[in-house]
Structure 1
């Protein structure tokens, strides 16, 4: 019997490659339907067509000049029988506050870093390369990961311009991992790496209708990541599905005998059966009726899929945390200390200290300060270091309110596996004059605790995506992945950007 009609199509279309999640793309690399070179050239063409022209998302700040060459080498390895792992040949984008040496550079979106190079590739970049992933390019971001000003606009950087939401071009992509989320949503790459200090993975992922996972602080190395605060910073995956995010976490996570070797093993379709999930109503719900309505539907689906819902299951210290200035004290203090240390490692040509950076921005105000100032930088300059009693007290308060009187208290009181809340409201209108018009979000408790947070798309509100956030205790990524994957499968939601124009 002839097998001619059964042979895979050797030339998938651009639309095919853009629509494939990482798992599907990897399967086609393995079965020979696709080569890494074809995937890379197809996605580079798509970036040129819809990111740098057309809708002009401005999500990709630079493309790797060696991406095609790297893909060819990985194809040759596969042909010789050497496959490094599940992501062999899979294109990945990396946020531009994660160090890469060479033509792409690393700028945090700031002109101040354009003329210098980092000391080396970040640990997560080396791990991606070792796993056979193709670094396709660097993504745009909210400049300095949204820590320059209290009135900043998410998605804007002096280097990359304004990254917009692929669902509505006059709406925010969120931040600060704006480009990473927008690019994955638009099919410019199946995977991207973002970073989070408080909301910077979960917010843009929710607004752009993709999966975002902020890991437990310490699970993924921050070596080579431009810092805000070591007590809260972490890189993490942004992907089209929970399985894809788990597969990327396999590569990003630091090896440990006490932690899972394969997070995808927790992606079980029946993962909600027997789970106990709490609903922390106070503060984390109620800031946006539309987001609440979508999340309520999601909670009903969790229950219908076999989970026991405990409602309410509030965090005892949430009101105090929401009123406290402890987090900003911690972030400001650590930012000055750790940014000064990072800048000192760069090659000549960029500011060496935060004070130098403030002076650079003042000297280049027309480009850097045209929309908002640098009041957070200036406040950080006034901090007194890691031995300051006010800093130590603030750090202790953050940990207490996020952990013992926060997430851990709610989990223990009701014997819960996880908590759920609306991740963020739908994308808000972009306003470069007033900055972000954000109503609220659920990221702060997990941020100050250093605990994991996962957002999974749960619907559309007026054509804009919203996400359901799953939060748990330290090192509970397997549980969150299990619950998030099962929810994703039960919901069976397919999202694709509409590139709706303003008005």
Structure 2
């Protein structure tokens, strides 16, 4: 009894302590503001883009920067306020480019910007690489009237350097923290993008994914993430891992905001051949599919292969399935997705080959006097600067990739064929056809784990591999929380089905309203 009383008193004390910490987090007048709300404020003249950007910048300096900050923003754009001022003048003159006009957006630091900011993939080696041209999607972002507020931290080299890495850590940016519980991990590699959007440091962010790097940080940070079909957005000007699986995508607090950004950046790029297939099947406005009844009549298959590993996550999924049925969805339980156990080794082989090929091509295109022109050069740099670049984990993935040949090797061709067959032909496409499905649903991932830079990440739940390897779209939406740690639910389908997935995801979001605002608690105190 004495021990029980002591435990109760201790819990009360810790709870009060956490509440005090929460109360110290400064209030923010733009908290959870959407694109539509910000546009209304600018149209009414109560706020300008300059004021909105300055408020976000002030918030970044208050809760993101410094020793105890979130550390999600790797660099602010020194020209952001000047860009916002020019866009305010356009608005005053009667010109509004579209829904993104004057809206602050941040992008992951592996996406080229031909401005005063660096593009480094989080590596100290690429500081001063001075890319001269915007990535295709950045040019589209500027044309849409968005304000490029800054760049976000990431897992260095998009989490493709070591098998024991800590997601959200980079040599340049150091460790990003989860805004819900600061000693928890934000997942990667688009960790900074997930945290910045969730913590209201900007309106929207852009991440990139090869396998899970948009949907996982979106799930763990309680936001919406869209991993588009490979080819919907151009990859030109993005530091690569895989030409087969890489794509950038929008990350935001609502499906509507993410859908707005998705449509604004589509376009055929002559330098990215995958975009050629998209011309006839994409939309410049995906917000037209935001239907609150978007679940009604939809046939959705439940994939339970990533369930059964955490009872609280499973309970959230079951509640989500009930909510979907209540909204009129037709659920087909326990569908199969082929022989997934064959995929891991084949995908790894594929990525090693494509990483070496793609990264060498990217580095070769940097200015002629830049000293690091190959993957081999970067391996040497990391060895020479191991105290800054490899204090916790090494570069065994770099070294494995360097040992591979070129894309004419039969081993590479075999890996590509196997990944395509299992993920597409015998996987997602077969399941959709067999059950006449509109989409497949599964938990996105675990509750956030405690960050461990020595031993690396600790997760068990993931549903990203099949759509990632297939190059197919997936969307994650907040579904609930485990002790205050967000849990996401993923919807995925076959190529260029973003419109249908957005309708489903929006309807689910509106019916469940599961997002919770992060409170920046220092640690998770359990009863």
Alignment of structure 1 residues 316-395 onto 2, 5 Å: 316-321=338-343, 324-347=344-367, 348-395=369-416
Distance 2:416 2:280 in 1: 29
Structure 2 match to 1:463: 484
The 3 A distance-change label for structure 1 pair 261 and 103 is closer
Matching residue of 2:246: 233
Could you say which residue in structure 1 is the equivalent of 2:311?
289
TM normalised by structure 2 equals 0.91
CA-CA distance at 1:285 after TM superposition: 2.0
The superposition leaves residues 313-358 of structure 1 with CA deviations (integer Å, 9 ceiling, x where unpaired) of 121222333xx40000010000000100000111233410000000
- Distance in structure 1 (CA, Å) of the matches to 2:335 and 2:36: 35
Residue 261 of structure 1: how far off its partner (Å): 2.6
Partner of 1:417: 438
Match status 1:312 vs 2:334: yes
Please give the per-residue CA displacement for 1:158-206, whole angstroms capped at 9, x wherever unaligned. Answer: 1111001000011000000000000000000110000000000000000
Deviation of 1:127 after TM superposition, in Å, equals 0.4
2:17 is aligned to none
Q: Which aligned runs of 4 or more in structure 1 are off by greater than 4 angstroms?
A: none
In structure 1, distance between residues paired with 2:243 and 2:315: 36
Aligned to 1:22: 35
Aligned twin of 1:6: none
Report deviation, 1:257. 3.8
**What 5-or-longer segments of structure 2 have no aligned partner?**
1-25, 269-278
CA RMSD of aligned residues (A): 1.3
Tell me how far apart the structure 1 counterparts of residues 289 and 445 of structure 2 sit (CA, whole Å). Answer: 26
**Which residue of structure 1 aligns with residue 188 of structure 2?**
175
Counterpart position of 2:215: 202
Q: Is the 1:118–1:345 Cα contact (8 Å) retained in structure 2?
A: no
Give the number of equivalent residue pairs.
488
- Matched position secondary structure for 1:37: helix
State whether structure 2 residue 113 is matched by structure 1 residue 113: no
Matches within 5 A, 1:425-436: 425-436=446-457
What whole-Å deviation, never above 9, does each CA across 1:413-467 have from its counterpart, x for those lacking one? Answer: 1000000000000101111110001113010000110000100000110110000
Question: In 2, distance between residues paired with 1:165 and 1:51?
Answer: 11
Name 1:3's counterpart in structure 2. Answer: none
TM-score, scaled relative to structure 1: 0.95
Q: Does 1:280 align with 2:303?
A: yes
Cross-structure match for 1:4? none
Does 2:216 match 1:193? no
- For the Cα contact (< 8 Å) 1:206–1:465, is it kept in 2? yes
After superposing the two structures, state which structure 1 stretch, 311-320 or 363-372, moved more: 311-320
SS in 1 for 2:184: strand
Decide whether the 8 Å contact of 1:202 with 1:443 is kept in 2.
Answer: yes
Match of 1:8 in 2: none
- Secondary structure at the counterpart of residue 258 of structure 2: helix
Structure 1, residues 288-324: CA drift from partner, whole Å, max 9, x if none? 3222221111111001100000001121222333xx4
Distance of 1:139 and 1:114 partners within structure 2: 15
Q: In the TM superposition, what is the alpha-carbon distance from 1:409 to its structure 2 partner?
A: 1.0
The CA distance in 1 between the partners of 2:322 and 2:408, in whole Å, is: 48
Give the Cα–Cα distance (whole angstroms) in 2 for the partners of residues 373 and 53 of structure 1.
Answer: 26
Gapped regions of structure 1 (runs ≥ 5):
1-12
Q: CA deviation at 1:373?
A: 0.2
Q: Indicate whether 1:216 and 2:236 are aligned.
A: no
The residue that corresponds to 1:85 in the other structure is 98
Q: Please say which of residues 15-24 and 296-305 is displaced more in the overlay.
A: 15-24
Structure 1 Cα separation of the partners of residues 223 and 336 of structure 2: 27
2:115, 2:132 within 8 Å by CA — same for their partners in 1? Answer: no
Residues 454-494 of structure 1, C-alpha deviations (whole Å, 9 max, x = no match):
00000110110000000100001001100000000000234
Alpha-carbon contact 2:122-2:155 (below 8 Å) kept: yes
Aligned to 2:6: none
CA distance in 2, matches of 1:417, 1:350: 50
- What SS does the corresponding residue of 1:168 show, helix, strand or coil? coil
Q: Separation in 2 of the partners of 1:301 and 1:124? A: 36
